[in-house]
Amino acid sequence: MKIYIDGEFFDRENAKISVFDHGLLYGDGVFEGIRAYNGRIFKLREHIERLFKSAKAILLTIPMTVDELCEAVRATCEENQIEDGYVRLLVTRGEGSLGLNPESCKRPSVIVIAGGIQLYPKEYYEVGLTIVTAPTVRNLQNAVNPAIKSLNYLNNVLAKIEASNAGCEEAIMLNSEGFVAECTGDNLFILSENVLATPPLAAGALYGITRNVVMELARKEGLEVVEKNISRYDVFVADECFLTGTGAEVVPVVKVDQRVIGEGVPGTVTRKLVAAYHDLTRASGVPILKEG
C-alpha cells in the first residue's frame, strides 16, 4: 500500500506524521470518505468540495486547489491499483506546539489513503440491521457543528461503543431536543405512507453525499421526499427504514430498540433504492486510469 502525504507516496510502514501534528493532538482537521467502483471514483468533486467547506468552517486553509486534490485522490487510487475500494482523505492543521494555538502550525498536511472497506457484514444488506438509540446525543449546532467532518469524532465513537455494548452494529443519535439527528456514521431515512423522510441538516444531520444521491433516486421513483424532524416514535411506526453513507451505501434497518419496523424484513422501496444506487455507482464517476 502506498500512502500519499503532502505530495509524496510512502510505503505503509514509512507513512508517518509528527507527534506534534494538531490533527493527532487535538483532532484539529477535517476528512472525507470516498468510494471507488468499477475503476471510477464516485462523486469525487462533491466530496472534495464538502471537504473545503468543512475546512473553511474551522479556518483551515487547504494548501491545494479542488482540482489538485481531486488529482491527488485519483493518483493515489492508481498507485494502489484500486478497482473497487475506499479512500480516506485527511487534512490536518499540521505540526505545531503543544499548546492549542493553531497559529503555531505553519502548514497543513494532506493525507490520502486508498484501500478496502467492509463496514457491515454482507448478510445485513439481505436481512437488515437491528439498531438502538444511543444515550450520547449529537453535538450541538453551536458547539462543534455536526456539518463539519472534523477529525474529532469522539462524539460518534462514544455512541458507537454504546451500540456495540447493546450488541448492535449501529445506533441512532438524537439531538438536544430529542429528535433524530443521524446514526454514528450514517444518515437515516424512514418511509411512511409512501413519503420518504430524513432529518434536516438543522437537526444535526450531516450533509451526506450518499444522502443526496438517494433523495434524487427516490424522487425519480416517484416518491415524495421531505426533510423534517423525526422522533423515535416516527421511526418505530415507519413502514420502512434504512441508512445511507459512503461506506455503508444503502443498508436496511428492520428493528429499532426492539420494535420491529414494518414486516421485519427489508422493504420493497428500500430494495429498489439499493438496486438503483448500485446501478449508479457502477456506471458513473471519475476514471482512475487516465485515458490514453
pLDDT of residue 50: 97
For CATH 3.30.470.10, the residue range(s) in the chain are: 2-115
CA dist 81 to 1, 91, 220, 285, 291, Å?
A: 9, 23, 34, 16, 15
Look at the pTM and tell me if it is higher than 0.85: yes
Q: What is the mean pLDDT of residues 271-280?
A: 96
pLDDT above 90: residue 120: no
Q: Is the pLDDT of residue 144 over 90?
A: no
Distance CA 266, CA 251 (A): 9
Quick check: 81 pLDDT over 70? yes
How is residue 89 written as a grid cell? 482523505
Mean pLDDT of the chain: 96
Q: For 84-118, what is each residue's pLDDT tens digit?
A: 999 999 999 999 999 999 999 999 999 999 998 77
CATH of 2-115, one of 3.40.50.720, 3.40.50.620, 3.40.250.10, 3.30.470.10: 3.30.470.10
pLDDT score at 143: 84
**At residue 223, does pLDDT exceed 80?**
yes
Would you say residue 51 has pLDDT above 80? yes
Segment 22-37 shows an average pLDDT of: 97
Angle at CA 14, nearest 5°, toward 246 and 4?
A: 40
**Residue 10 confidence (pLDDT):** 98
Residue ranges of the chain assigned to CATH 3.20.10.10: 122-281
Statement: residue 194 has pLDDT above 70? yes
Domain 122-281, CATH class in plain words: alpha beta
Q: CA 289 to CA 39: how far, in whole Å?
A: 8
Active site residue 2: no
Q: Residues 6 or more apart from 213 whose CB is under 8 A from it?
A: 43, 244, 277, 280
If pLDDT is split at 50, 70 and 90, which confidence band does 141 have?
confident
Scan for cell 438543522, then name that residue.
202
The catalytic position among 149, 160, 272, 290 is: 149
Residue 292 has pLDDT above 70, yes or no: no
